[in-house]
Amino acid sequence: MKGRSAGKVKEIALKRSVLKELSSVLCKDIQKPQVGIDASGCILDDENSLLTSVATMEGLTDTFVISTINRALNNLYIQEASPIGITMSLTLRYGASEQEIKKLMRVISEECTKHGIPVLGGETTRSRSACEHILTIQALGTKKLSRNIKTDLTGLQIVMAGNAGMAGTIQIYEKESEKLRTRFSERFLHGINPMKQQLSVREQRKIAGDVICAHDVSEGGIFTALWEMGEYLNCGMRITLPNLLLSQETIELSEFFDINPYLLFSLGCSIYVTADGGGLVDRFTQEGIRAAVIGTLTGDSDRILDNEEEIRYLEPFKGDEMYKL
């Protein structure tokens, strides 16, 4: 399918042609890039490290700007890093006016203000070949050096916080609103708007506290995030498919366009490994955040999706469903 070429590269290409080529220039003080860890960097001193993450997206709406910033910052938040600020590179589509530039910069400034961080610098250029604006955000942050991951993982529980597919649902709504109004009422579609304020995992990570492992869900959806967690931990897992969290809006839009909501862009959602899944779910619930225990880690390499009537298996990232549209 033509749309599959858009977005981030498939995992097999990432490992073979990106991460493998970078390994020769790493030193011992570097936290190297790897599948399942989207923010990496260097050790500053005996207690602190400097982390950086990068996100690139394209679009014409305010939401694509907000999504790009949150995508980069979520990679820091999920590792309990404190953001210092961002740098940006904005490539404007052909024919973009100065008013468009002002609007985009205003959205960037407002979103950074929400997170309490400055724009440290950047570059703005025009392109004769770009059909949409292309925004790259690099987020910088510091974190305390952490302990090693617990080695005995078998039986630990996986907790999901927040609904999967929110960012993709917003993107679909903004791009296909006319089609959606032929099927759904304005009242129903209005339920998508609050999702725009729920794309950060900062509060989720604070509530989770001391967990074995944490990962934010982004491009490729909840299925991809679970696979990446398994790669990072080098373990298997058994996921109870009906326990995965989706909003009714995401379910309905996915059925309308015949796409898989579990492979849909999912900012604002995060997953955690803990020995006390029920306790973590209770803490999220008390703070008004939807959460559920969705599975357990296993000692083998199988990553199973249990749907009661059938068994399926997780696969590496192959593309996000939103690019089908």
3-state helix, strand, coil in the chain (%, to 5): 40, 25, 35
DSSP-derived secondary structure for 93-121: PTT--HHHHHHHHHHHHHHHHHHT--EEE
Q: Which residues does residue 89 pair with via DSSP β-bridges, in sequence order? A: 123, 136
The whole-number pLDDT of residue 41 equals: 83
Question: What are 126-137's pLDDT values in tens digits?
Answer: 999 899 999 999
Q: Strand, coil or helix: what is 124?
A: strand
Per the CB < 8 A criterion, the answer to whether 136 and 89 are in contact is yes
What residues contact 207, with CB distance under 8 A and at least 6 apart?
161, 283, 284, 287, 289
pLDDT band at 21 (very low <50, low <70, confident <90, very high): low
CA dihedral sign, ordered 244, 246, 250, 255: positive
Per the CB < 8 A criterion, the answer to whether 201 and 271 are in contact is no
> In whole angstroms, what separates CA 173 from the centre of its chain?
19
Residue 180, amino acid: L
Structure tokens at 243: 């326990």
Q: Taking all residues of the chain, what is their mean pLDDT, rounded to a whole number?
A: 89
Q: What is the CA radius of gyration of the chain?
A: 19
Residue 302 has pLDDT above 80, yes or no: yes
Q: What is the pTM of this model?
A: 0.88
> Cα(179)–Cα(20) distance, rounded to whole angstroms?
44
Per the CB < 8 A criterion, the answer to whether 184 and 267 are in contact is no
Residue 35 has pLDDT above 90, yes or no: no
> In whole angstroms, what separates CA 223 from the centre of its chain?
12
Residue 149 has pLDDT above 70, yes or no: no
Percent over 90 (pLDDT), the chain? 75
Per the CB < 8 A criterion, the answer to whether 293 and 278 are in contact is yes
Per the CB < 8 A criterion, the answer to whether 164 and 241 are in contact is no
Secondary element (H or E) of residue 194: none
Per the CB < 8 A criterion, the answer to whether 138 and 54 are in contact is yes
Secondary element (H or E) of residue 135: strand 133-144
DSSP-derived secondary structure for 145-190: --PPPPS--TT-EEEEES-BTHHHHHHHHHHSHHHHTTTS-HHHHH
> Cα(49)–Cα(69) distance, rounded to whole angstroms?
21
Question: What are 163-212's pLDDT values in tens digits?
Answer: 999 999 999 999 999 999 999 999 999 999 999 999 999 999 999 999 99
The whole-number pLDDT of residue 265 equals: 96
